[in-house]
């Protein structure tokens, strides 16, 4: 993944998935998004999905995997997130 891909994909996936998490975490993710702190927004989003046991699509999980790999973050929690398809 190139930096431009990361910059394009990050806001798209945050906007798509953030509504699925609780307001407590959603506000943290959206504040990070607003500040352009995509690394914090993505890792917080993944942590919230995992902690709240939120089900996402396989496509959403794949997009989050790409972003987490780009950030060189561990995939442990992401791998435990359930998918609906």
22 phi-psi bin (left φ>0, alpha ψ -120 to 50, beta other): beta
Q: Render pLDDT for 48-73 as a digit per residue (tens, 0 to 9).
A: 999 999 999 999 999 999 999 999 99
Q: Render pLDDT for 2-56 as a digit per residue (tens, 0 to 9).
A: 988 999 999 999 999 999 999 999 999 999 999 989 999 999 999 999 999 999 9
pLDDT for 17:
96
SS3 74: coil
């Amino acid at each position: 993944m190139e930096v431009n891909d990361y910059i394009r994909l990050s806001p798209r996936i945050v906007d798509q998935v953030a509504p699925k998490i609780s307001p407590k975490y959603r506000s943290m993710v959206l504040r990070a998004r607003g500040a352009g702190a995509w690394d914090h927004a993505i890792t917080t989003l993944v942590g919230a999905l995992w902690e709240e046991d939120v089900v996402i699509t396989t496509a959403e999980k794949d997009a989050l995997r790409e972003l987490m790999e780009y950030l060189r973050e561990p995939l442990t929690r992401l791998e435990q997130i359930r998918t609906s398809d």
